[in-house]
Amino acid sequence: MSNVKETLEKARSEAQDLHKKIDADAAKDNAALRANVQDAAAKAQNLAASLKTIVDGQRADAKQRIADAASQLEDAAKQAREMASASDAQLKERNRAMLGKVRDAAENLSQAVASERAKVAAK
């Protein structure tokens, strides 16, 4: 049981770190932002894939939060990939959209962790 909780906490921490990185990258010039965004896309995609492996066996509320987080991270990765072809005017806007998706994913993971803690505490 604690393995799932630890996995969720690690995923939440990774999502929070990704959010911080994307936020910090927003302050950089457009060339640096374009260069860093592909790494962010890969991290978001990998995190989404890892979340899909732990969905089974979760309580309904946690399962939905994890599924939502995975979907939001996939959307963030898609936004990142699209930034490669974005105009300079669109670049910051798409970065904000990607940042929002990762923030939402981190929030969903926090709620899934809370649900897992409640499940353990109820035993």
CA-CA distance, 63 to 44, in Å (whole number)? Answer: 19
How far apart are alpha carbons 75 and 101 in whole angstroms? Answer: 7
pLDDT digits (tens, 9 = 90+) for 67-82: 999 999 999 999 888 8
User: Which pTM does this prediction carry?
Assistant: 0.82
Secondary structure letter of residue 14 according to DSSP: H
| Nearest alpha-carbon partner for 109 in 70, 81, 58 | 70
Give the C-alpha separation, 48 to 51, whole Å: 5
pLDDT in tens, 8-38: 899 999 999 999 988 888 777 887 888 788 8
First to last CA, the chain: 11
Q: Give the number of other CB atoms < 10 A from CB of residue 120.
A: 12
